[in-house]
Chain A
Amino acid sequence: MSGLEQMYQQVIIDHARERHGHGLADSPGRVGESFQVNPVCGDEVRLRVAVDGDRITGVTWEGHGCSISQASVSVLHDLVEGATVRDAAEIAATFRALMDARGEPPDSETEELLGDGAAFVGVGRYPARIKCALLGWMALKDALIQATKEKT
């Protein structure tokens, strides 16, 4: 498998087309929203989370960008919606570690935790594209802070 084929695995191309969670919607709980731009290419994502108790009840988003950025948010939606805030943070950290792994295949534990997200392993070999894959995850981190911060 070439580096290119390793990066654009079918599961990524499918997610980029299907875009799970696309279209901002309301869910019960406290809402947080974040807008992120990749200054390199102008790609944008606006991601909304709803948190009820310690559980993430909704992850929806809109935006446009390359297949890597779009597929990554789609996968994020699948992994994080319904998870606890703590689990979501662990998934996010694991995904980031995968990006930093320079294409090294993940261990089985990581693979299990990330599900379709493990398919992004090939992105780690292309430093210029890591930002694309992380765009939605940056938005998630920020949106969760908005949703969970103490009201003043």
Chain B
Amino acid sequence: MAFPDVRGDFPILTRQARGGRRLNYLDSAATSHQPRHVLAAQDEFVRERYGAVGRGAHLLAEEATEAVDSARWDVARFVGADAGEIVWTENATAALNLVAAAMGAASQGIGGEEARRFALAEGDEIVITETEHHADIIPWQILARRTGAALRWIPVDDDGRLRLDDLSDIVGDRAKVVAFQHASNVTGVIHPVSAVVERARAVGALTVLDACQSAPHLSVDFPSLGVDFAAFSAHKMLGPTGIGALYGRRELLDALPPAVYGGSTVKTVTMTETTWLDAPAKFEAGSQPVVQAVGFGAAARYLTELGREGIENRDRELAGRLRRGVTSIDGVRLLGPVGGTGEPVIGLAAVEVEGVHPHDVGQVLDDAGIAVRVGHHCAQPLHARLGVQSSTRASTQVYTTDEDVDEFLEALAGVRGFFGAGGSS
């Protein structure tokens, strides 16, 4: 069955690009556009039901609370979880930081006896990977600094795949936590979550999954994947900015101490002591971005109604068209494997154009109405490992058409000529 043409659902896609050209938006891995369903849900919430969530006894407070609770359920179901396992965060970055900061707090004795399982000290190890986004590197560097634990990482091969040959050494008896991404925002590689989870479990280490790039494209189910925590962000899956979520297994969220402190997180506060509410409330200090939460819920519903399996299949088609296409252009190097049957990748392609800096590539594409991302995509260690300083990335979403991809390929093929780099050099 052909994937439906949903472009009509996305108002922004009707606007013009530079020079009056048709907008060809291929920057969805950076941020995706919102369908009118998501815009309408937020609009309706603000117009009809807006009030203080979780506090107040008036009608609006009650209806607003109900709307946000319901959004939490929508987002939870989207990843196979219960609402009690979903914590609102500002974005995926904040979710990853929350786990690392909470483990730091636990390491200082906060959270008492039940939080000791999260505590790190000298002699312990934190494991990340070489393909991580900066948001899944820096919090762990800081946690290592704070606790005296050592930071180790799983290396990648020349195509950005995790090299698991030394996994049992890298994730050893001293490993307390393993943080890794589900799918790469640079190479598109979908990592073998089960292999890492299995090893982490064998040594009693916690797992934290950065699902930022997988949640929009794959049928992600965190309990089935077996991870302990996972982070994802609304704005990469057709929702608004300003909201993301941390998934945590219930018993872990119950034991994990909060790391940001404030109103609506507590049972009792005296001048010297505080007792926390149950998760997720204890992690959501202060007024929350409730309008965005409603939008997040609507985005999850939209994708669910569109059909996760269909989205995944369509994504593979687009990924194939895009990645095969760029590899057939002279002087263009694809970062990561071409992918295909047996090695699925998500719908993006980051490329190096020989002799032309990504900024210049992006500018020429922009002139043709094509929006791509240029730079290191917050993955400097991975770029260094792949032997490039930065790259140009095109990424797809449900609204991407074959024509969008073909137009990008054609424009990309002309870039070197524009800069006089396409000759015999």
Interface residues of A (CB under 8 A from B): 2-4, 7-8, 13, 40-43, 64-70, 126, 129, 132
Check A41 against B367 for contact (C-beta < 8 Å): no
- Given that A3-B19, A3-B367, A13-B419 are known contacts, is A66 also in contact with B359, CB under 8 Å in the complex? yes
- Report A81 CB to chain B, min CB distance, Å: 25
Q: Which residues of B contact A8 (CB under 8 A)?
A: 360, 363, 418-419
Contact B359 A42 (CB under 8 A): no
Residues of B within 8 A of A2 (CB): 19, 367
**When chains A and B are docked, how far (Å) is the Cα of A66 from the Cα of B419?**
12
CA A126 – CA B19 in complex, angstroms? Answer: 13
**Contact B367 A68, beta carbon cutoff 8 Å:** no
Partner of A41, one of B18, B19, B359, B420: B359
Chain B, Cβ-Cβ closest to A132:
B359
Contact of B375 among A13, A42, A129 (CB under 8 A): A42
User: Which B residues touch A132, using CB under 8 A?
Assistant: 359
CA distance A66 to B415 in the complex (A): 14
**Contact across chains for A129 and B390 when beta carbons are under 8 A apart:** no
Looking across the interface, which residue of chain A has its beta carbon closest to that of B355?
A17
Whether A3 lies near B376 (C-beta < 8 A) is no
Of all chain B residues, which has the CB nearest A126? B363
| Bound CA–CA A4/B356 (angstroms) | 15
In the assembled complex, how far is the CB of residue B361 from the closest CB belonging to chain A, in whole angstroms? 9
Question: Is B389 an interface position by the 8 A CB rule?
Answer: yes
Over the window 384-425 of chain B, the binary record of Cβ atoms lying under 8 Å from chain A Cβ atoms (1 yes, 0 no) is: 000001100000000000000000000000000011100000
Determine how close the nearest CB of chain A comes to the CB of B369; give it in whole angstroms. 12
Pairs A–B under 8 Å by Cβ, sample size 8: A2-B19, A8-B418, A41-B359, A43-B359, A65-B359, A66-B357, A67-B360, A129-B359
- A13-B419, A42-B376, A42-B389 are known; give 13 further A-B pairs, CB within 8 A: A4-B363, A4-B364, A41-B374, A43-B357, A64-B389, A65-B357, A67-B356, A67-B357, A67-B359, A67-B360, A68-B359, A129-B363, A132-B359
For B419, what are the chain A residues with a Cβ–Cβ distance below 8 Å? 8, 13, 67
What residues on A are CB-neighbors of B18 within 8 Å?
Answer: 3
What total of chain B residues lie within 8 Å of the partner, measured CB to CB?
Answer: 19
Contact between A42 and B364 (Cβ–Cβ < 8 Å)?
no
How would residues 1 to 45 of chain B score, 1 for a CB under 8 Å from any chain A CB and 0 otherwise? 000000000000000001100000000000000000000000000
Nearest-neighbour CB distance to chain A for B134, whole angstroms, equals: 11
Chain B contacts for A126, CB-based, 8 A: 363
A8 and B420 CA atoms in complex are apart in Å by 12
Q: Would A7 and B363 count as touching, CB distance under 8 A?
A: yes
Q: Across the two chains, which residue of chain B brings its CB closest to A4? A: B367
CB distance from A39 to the nearest CB of B (A): 9
Q: Is B108 an interface residue (CB 8 A)?
A: no
B380 at the binding interface (Cβ < 8 Å): yes
Taking CB atoms, residues of chain B closer than 8 Å to A4 are: 363-364, 367
Q: Give the complex CA separation of A44 and B387 in angstroms.
A: 16
B421 to chain A, nearest CB (A): 9
Chain A proximity of B73: nearest CB distance (Å): 39
Partner of B358, one of A3, A7, A66, A70: A66
Residues of A within 8 A of B357 (CB): 43, 65-67, 70
Q: Which residues of A contact B367 (CB under 8 A)?
A: 2-4
B390 touches A42 (CB 8 A): yes
Q: Please, which residue of chain A has its CB at the minimum distance from the CB of B359? A: A66
Q: Which of A40, A42, A64, A68 contacts B360 (CB 8 A)?
A: A68
B254-273 toward A: CB 8 Å interface, digit per residue (1/0)? Answer: 00000000000000000000
A41–B375 contact, CB under 8 A?
A: yes
Using known A-B contacts A13-B419, A13-B420, determine if residue A66 contacts B19 with beta carbons closer than 8 Å: no
A42–B363 Cα distance when bound, in Å, is 17
Residues of A within 8 A of B376 (CB): 41-42
A interface footprint on B341-366 (CB within 8 Å = 1, 0 otherwise): 00000000000000011111001100
In the docked arrangement, what's the CA distance between A3 and B18, Å? 9
- CA gap between A70 and B359 in the complex, in Å: 12
Cα distance A40–B418 in the bound complex, in angstroms: 24
Cα–Cα, bound, A142→B367 (Å): 34
* Distance in angstroms between the alpha carbons of A69 and B389 in the assembled complex: 15
| Given A2-B19, A129-B363: A42 and B380 interface contact (C-beta under 8 Å) | yes
Task: Assess the B363–A41 pair: CB atoms within 8 A.
Answer: no
Encode contact with A along B59-91: 1 for CB under 8 Å, 0 otherwise.
000000000000000000000000000000000
Residues of B within 8 A of A69 (CB): 359
Q: Which residues of A contact B359 (CB under 8 A)?
A: 41, 43, 65-69, 129, 132
B27 smallest CB distance to A (angstroms): 13
Q: How far is the CA of A15 from the CA of B295 in the complex (A)?
A: 49
- Which A residues touch B374, using CB under 8 A? 41
B residues near A129, Cβ cutoff 8 Å: 359, 363
CA distance A7 to B366 in the complex (A): 13
A66: which B residues are within 8 A, CB to CB?
Answer: 357-360
